[in-house]
Amino acid sequence: MSGATGVAAENGILGTVQLRIPSKPEWVAVARLTIAAIANRLPFSVEDIEDLKLAMAEACTYVIAANSNDAIDMTFETGKDFLRIRVKDRGAVRPEKALVRPTGVSTEGLGIFLIQALMDEVEHTTEGQSGGELVMTKCVGS
């Protein structure tokens, strides 16, 4: 399910797009394609768009791996020079593991580490026991 709304400029947000995909591996490509299409509307470089696609996919993969949701809900907020992605995780993301660079041949935390490395701002908000939201922002020309 997807929907688009024109939003009055509030906190610099010019438009919002919402996307819900089934929490299954075969649907992650849809999230990647969606973010690429949205990012194309802003003056992001090709490299930035590739970064956004990867960060988007990693967030989806993390939620799928945690097996916590039937669906993945994403909100894309666009501004003049930034794109912010909100991913509802319902407890999937454990931010205490997010900042550690994987060492040696370990794969643990690799996806979240990539998100941290590729995006300009990464926040995690907790909403009690029900989980929280991963918020990732990329700025144009960063």
| In the complex, minimum distance from the CB of residue 101 to another protein, in angstroms, rounded to a whole number | 6
Residue 77 vs 87, nearer CB to another protein: 87
Report in angstroms how near the CB of residue 90 gets to another protein at its nearest.
Answer: 18
Show Cβ contacts of residue 128 under 8 Å, excluding neighbours closer than 6 positions. none
Beta strands (DSSP E) in the chain are 2-10, 13-22, 71-79, 82-88, 121-126, 132-139
Residue tagged 């299954």 (tokens):
24
SS3 123: strand
Query: Contact residues for another protein (CB under 8 A)?
Result: 25-26, 28-29, 32, 47, 50, 53-54, 57-58, 60-61, 64, 101-107, 110-111, 113-114, 117-118
Shortest Cβ distance from residue 12 to another protein (Å)?
A: 28
